[in-house]
């Protein structure tokens, strides 16, 4: 079946702009995760959804970052007033409760 | 809080040689431990996981890892490297089980020499 998909695959924006990154999880997966992977580093946890609600958003770096999952499926990560330090690959993963996390290919965000 | 340290950001081995990638963890409670592989422009793929059952865990593609509580280690091994094993490998820990957030190490880039 289809895996986790993320769009766009690449996003280039200017400092100060607003961006949205989309994640389509595997059908039937109720848990969804966002991670950020900076160059030369491992992924860092941002936020975890169980269904429509954010069960743990402790990894969001500041209030410029926000994520939603209004219908318990697709999720959007929103970044306001982007900064150069936001440049990274943003990874999405989904799972069944207690199950293995399946990762998407990521969105590479570049802030100029 | 939990953390993971991967010793060696780059490891090179000859084709057919033993692969050993090191991972040490820190956790205040019994951990769940994972190894993921990342090929260029692809998502992370789970190689194997330790969830408090057998301490020697076998995964895909001939990889295995041994949980050693006394050493707080979870090193990844493969007896004979293939060219196709060249990729980046990440060790990760979770204290809630795989349904919660993973804390990753910084990764080890494996190069396989012909």
pLDDT (mean) for A11-31: 96
Interchain proximity A31–B104, CB inside 8 Å: no
* Predicted confidence (pLDDT) at residue A95 exceeds the cutoff of 80: yes
The pLDDT tens digits for B48-102 are 999 877 889 999 999 999 999 999 999 999 999 999 999 999 999 987 655 578 9
Interchain proximity A45–B106, CB inside 8 Å: no
With 0-12 / 13-18 / 19 or more C-beta atoms within 10 angstroms meaning exposed / middle / buried, residue A56 is middle
pLDDT of amino acid B40: 84
Interchain proximity B105–A44, CB inside 8 Å: no
pLDDT of amino acid B97: 58
Nearest CA in chain B to A42: B106
With an 8 Å Cβ cutoff, is B105 touching chain A? yes
Interchain proximity B43–A100, CB inside 8 Å: no
pLDDT of amino acid A98: 74
Identity of the residue in A41, A99, A106 whose CB atom sits nearest the CB atom of B98 = A99
**Mean of the per-residue pLDDT values for chain B?**
92
Sign, CA dihedral B4-B85-A95-A74, equals positive
Phi, psi angle pair for B69, to nearest 5°:
-65, -40
Interchain proximity A98–B97, CB inside 8 Å: yes
Interchain proximity A40–B44, CB inside 8 Å: no
DSSP assigned state of B99 = T
Q: Which of B99, B103, B107 to mutate to test the interface with A (most CBs of A within 10 A)?
A: B99
Q: A31-37 and A88-95 as β-strands: parallel, antiparallel, unpaired?
A: antiparallel
Of B57, B55, B18, which is closest to residue B35 (Cα–Cα)? B57
Identity of the residue in B43, B99, B101 whose CB atom sits nearest the CB atom of A99 = B99
Q: Which residues of B touch A106 (CB under 8 A)?
A: 43
Interchain proximity A98–B90, CB inside 8 Å: no
With 0-12 / 13-18 / 19 or more C-beta atoms within 10 angstroms meaning exposed / middle / buried, residue B110 is buried
The pLDDT tens digits for A40-81 are 899 999 999 999 999 899 999 999 999 999 999 999 999 999
* Predicted confidence (pLDDT) at residue B11 exceeds the cutoff of 70: yes
Q: Which residues of A touch B102 (CB under 8 A)?
A: 33, 35, 43, 45, 101
């Amino acid at each position: 079946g289809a895996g986790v998909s993320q769009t766009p695959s690449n996003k280039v924006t200017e400092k100060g702009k607003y961006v949205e990154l989309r994640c389509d999880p595997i059908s039937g997966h109720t848990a969804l995760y966002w991670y950020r992977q900076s160059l030369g580093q491992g992924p860092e946890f941002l936020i975890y959804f169980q269904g429509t609600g954010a069960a743990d958003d402790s990894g969001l770096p500041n209030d410029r970052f926000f994520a939603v999952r209004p219908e318990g499926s697709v999720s959007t990560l929103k970044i306001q007033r982007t900064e150069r330090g936001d440049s990274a690959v943003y990874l999405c993963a989904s799972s069944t409760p207690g199950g293995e996390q399946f990762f998407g290919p990521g969105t590479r965000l570049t802030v100029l | 809080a939990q953390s993971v340290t991967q010793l060696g950001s780059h490891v090179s081995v000859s084709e057919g040689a033993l692969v050993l990638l090191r991972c040490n963890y820190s956790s205040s409670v019994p951990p769940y431990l994972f190894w993921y592989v990342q090929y260029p422009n692809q998502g992370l793929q789970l190689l194997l996981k330790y969830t408090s059952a057998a301490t020697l865990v076998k995964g895909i593609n001939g990889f295995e890892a041994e949980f050693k509580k006394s050493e707080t280690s979870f090193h990844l091994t493969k007896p004979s490297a293939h060219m196709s094993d060249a990729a980046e490998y990440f060790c990760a820990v979770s204290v809630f089980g795989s349904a919660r957030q993973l804390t990753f190490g910084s990764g080890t880039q494996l190069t396989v020499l012909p």
